[in-house]
Structure 1
Amino acid sequence: MLEIKLGTKLALCALSAFIIAAVVFFIVHKAGTLWIDHKFSDPAFVEQQQDLEIQNLQEYITNSQASALDYHVVSNWVKERQLTTLFLYYGDRLIYDSTITYHAGNLASGRLTSPLPWQKTYPLQFSDVEVTAVVSTLARHRFVDQLNIIGLTVFFLTFLLIMLYYVRRKVVYIHQLAQEIKNIESGNLNFPITIKGKDELASLAQDVDKMRHALLKQIIRFQKVRKDRDQFAVHMSHDLRTPVTSLIGYLDIVNQKRCPSKEIQEQYLHKAEEKALQLKNLSENMFKHFLTSMDESKAEDIFCDSAAINLLIDDGLILLESHLFQCLASKYEGEAAFFAIRRTSLQRILDNIFSNLLKYADPAFAIEISCHRGGQGLAISFSNPIRTEKTGAVASAGIGLKSAGEIARQNGGSLHIHKQDGVFQCTLFIPEIP
């Protein structure tokens, strides 16, 4: 963007105002000159101007109650009129001449002379006598002087109005910027800064608007980070409780000596050890990623194959059966395949789903679990009637299933939950690696 400095812009505006004012002055002066030429080309108009001069003088003398020998009164009037000459005659004697400041001592001592034949004479009445007056006025020059005054007035008014208009626009824009900056200062960052022109003010407004965008992005980023941090903390706390619950369940079964055989007892102890290791990994992951995000897709872990998925489902089945739930499971039995989800992520998803089943599934009915391969992935379905009697448990906010859905989405899968007529259905889809 080509920027014009404010000083240069002001100089250009002053030059433009001067040119426009000069053009207006020329037009006014030209029109006035044509009007004066037209008027003074008419002898009647010129004679009318002389008549007006005599009438003005007569009114002046009448108001002053001057006599024919009060020359100072007549001289004052001539000085005020400037471009007017006056000759006064009493009979055939000149008693006053304004061109040479001559005046007679008395009416009888004037110069013996008469008006020239082509000069028009006017009767002039003083308080004592009547004299003859010859007036000569340069009315044309008076009109030209007045025209020059009018033209110069129009010139300066035009110049000032243009400059004031430009300065007022800049002042209004500065006030607007000040108000918009106050909005930013008060924390209102949603209203843009107005950018007008290509000078320093426009550049300043653009820089302020960029600062507003940067602050807005920073606030949005901060809010997102805080939201992700809080969400991550909530999800991780829930995911930490799930293996702890399973670990306590396995150890409780072993301690209460409810295992039918030593092999099953060793199997429970092995599962308890796995849950303890899972708890350790989750806690390390929480401290590692607490201030960033809960993105599991970048974790250093291997992708799950069909055998690993079956083992994770078996862990969940053992947990459900240890709590006296009946399970009808149909695990994956097709060809070996790899799926685009890491073992840690899938374990967290299944732990949340099985934890939800432990809390809300009706133990009087069997829990159905099935795996179906199709649609370029694997679908694991869970179905069970929902427990209706009060258990004294705190109402769930669905954090576990929300966390499971978020983890599935981050790994390219999906988790669909449906509740109808007291039946809970949940379908986990995992994309397959070609």
Structure 2
Amino acid sequence: MLDNHFNKTSFISSQKNQALSDFRRYILDNNLTINDYDKITEWVRKEKYVSLYIYKDKQLIYNSDRNNSAIDYGKYEENPFLPDMSLYDIKFADADAKMYVECFFQYKYYYIVSFLNASISFFCFISIMLFFIKRKTTYIGMLESEIKILEGGNLTHEITVNGNDELSSLAQGINEMRKSFIERLESEDKARLANSELITAMSHDLRTPLTALVGYLDIIEYKKYKTDENLRQYIHRSREKAYQIKYLSDKLFEYFIVFNTNDDDLELEAFDGNELLDQLLEEQIFILEDNGFISQIDSCNTPFLIEVNLISIRRVFDNIFSNIMKYSDKSKIVKVKYYIKNQLLFVYIENEINNNLKTVSSTGIGLKTCEKIIERHSGKFVITKAKDTFSVQISLAIKLHND
């Protein structure tokens, strides 16, 4: 805009004429001679935006742009590049000379505009920065208030995540920590409830045979039996109840061993999967068939490796097949199969429930122990009951030989 203004108007020429007029008046008022370089320099410095070149007899005798403005007459410099029409006549007190004038008055306005530009830019920069800082401080304040809500115990309140910077990452981290804490509390509640149910069931299951045992022993001690045959019956029943109590206490002890052992304490070994499962299942199938059960097993021909704790896995199969022998219908087939899918080993066991065992009750300690053991192997233990069918599915991670 300034360039257009200066090009379209006579601003520069009028300012130059004004400078020439002022300089001539300055010479006249101070009666300057052609050799008063200091006085001339003083005027040039006062004007700031003017440069003077004074010639005498076509020789440059004064240059306001040089550090040493005085040039001896013996060292006059010719300046062939200046046309005659650019020179102005100037009269000093002792001689006439010619002068070339360069004016830079437009620079004053350029400086002003540059200063205004810098000021406006700085103001805009500060305004934009304050705007974004305000947004961040508002977001920080919101995070603070939401964290106080979490501190108050309301863990269901979700932290707001805005943007994609460090603050949003922090908010996301708090959210994940909140979810993990909720999951941990839920897990602890489930464990507490499971332990409570276990204790309730165990107290009932232990109290029943224990009460009967005490009653039989009282009959024997106080000789309330009528015949020796009754005595033998009471002794036999006392023995059965004692073994029943021993079995329940062993299961309870096994349950607490499994649930109070850290996962890091589990020592894993690598086995050939087919050999291991064939061995474990053949042992259980042999016991089943020896007790009059009918079984059917479908094996997997895919070679694979599996890392397990042998004692723990054997305990899982012992518990599962022990339940089958207690609650399964002998006239129905016990189906067992294992197969590979998506880098996982699936073991599926299914049996028909014997509905005639109405008096048999179970605390479920064995199955809970199995579930915990499989979880410690990073697997899944799924129990399914549908009408008269009971099934168990175990899934564990494996490594195929071609991996």
Q: Normalising to structure 2: TM-score of the pair?
A: 0.43
Higher relative contact order (CA 8 A, sep 6+): 1
